[in-house]
Amino acid sequence: MKLITATTYEEMCQKAARVLAAQITLKPQSVLGLATGSTPIGIYQELVREYQEGKLNFSQVTTVNLDEYLGLSPENDQSYRYFMNQHLFNKVNIPKENTHVPSGQPQNPQEECRQYEELLAAVGPVDIQLLGIGNNGHIGFNEPCGHFPEFTHVVNLSESTIQANSRFFAHSSQVPRQAVSMGIGTIMKAKKILLVASGQGKAQIVYDMMFGPVTPQVPASLLRFHPDVTVFADQEAGVLALAALSK
């Protein structure tokens, strides 16, 4: 696991975006695994800017997103499909049919999970998977629990995630209680993983992920067993991990 720190959030996003841009340039048919949340927004802004400047072409790119809230339609402005359309897909030349986000309103959620795994197997492997990290160490919506979930599955969101995500909703009671998420096993199949973390609230969990025990209580800790993970952190999020590395 490699750590790249940046002085500011903007610089961190530029550095991470450069890796994604290089991937798309070198392999126009790349499969990108994408994340939502506040941290990747600056990365998507960078990619959109490069596209607008004529430096990037998304016409052959395929994307697969990590997760979606259960109960939200694609038109709901809190759904992850809506987020991705707003921040990236509507702003670049990616064909919509090449963009995949789990359905938030499946007839049968278990069947949706099975079909999403099938889709991933058909379009994959993912060349680069972009991840954020929750305050409790979740990646995707893989919450701390007794095991590392292997496949795409239905998740009951933890109270800490509901509270953390309530900042995007009018009230915490509106945060959906369930989601569909790729499993940790699904994420680990990506050829390369970029994890981004910003702000002092992430400093301890970045440290725990990199140096604490590998345990399903810190789902991101399993990434230490992946051969190609780069953690991008701004100064605040990287402070404890950087101090440990320079001892």
Taking the least distance from each CB to ligand F6R, the nearer of 57 and 216 is: 216
Is residue 236 part of the annotated active site? The answer reads no
What are the residues facing 155 on neighbouring strands?
179
Is residue 226 part of the annotated active site? The answer reads no
Least separation in angstroms between residue 54's CB and ligand F6R is 29
Q: For residue 35, which of 112, 137, 146, 140 has the smallest C-alpha distance?
A: 140
Is residue 143 part of the annotated active site? The answer reads yes
Is residue 67 part of the annotated active site? The answer reads yes
The yes or no reply on residue 188 touching ligand F6R (CB under 6 A) is no
The yes or no reply on residue 132 touching ligand F6R (CB under 6 A) is yes
Choose which of 38, 90, 93, 156 interacts with ligand F6R (CB under 6 A): 38
Choose which of 35, 120, 206, 223 interacts with ligand F6R (CB under 6 A): 35
Rounded to a whole number of angstroms, the distance between the first and last alpha carbons of the chain is 17
Rg (CA), the chain: 17
Q: What is the C-alpha separation between 43 and 48, in angstroms, rounded? A: 9
Helix (H) / strand (E) containing 130:
strand 128-131
Choosing from 136, 142, 165, 236, the catalytic residue is 136
The string of DSSP letters for 152-184 reads -EEEEPPHHHHHHHGGGSSSGGGS-SEEEE--H
Chain residues 59-118 in contact with ligand F6R, contact rule CB under 6 A? 66-67
The yes or no reply on residue 36 touching ligand F6R (CB under 6 A) is yes
Q: What is the binding site for ligand F6R (CB under 6 A)? A: 35-39, 66-67, 132-134, 138-140
Q: Which residues are catalytic?
A: 67, 136, 138, 143
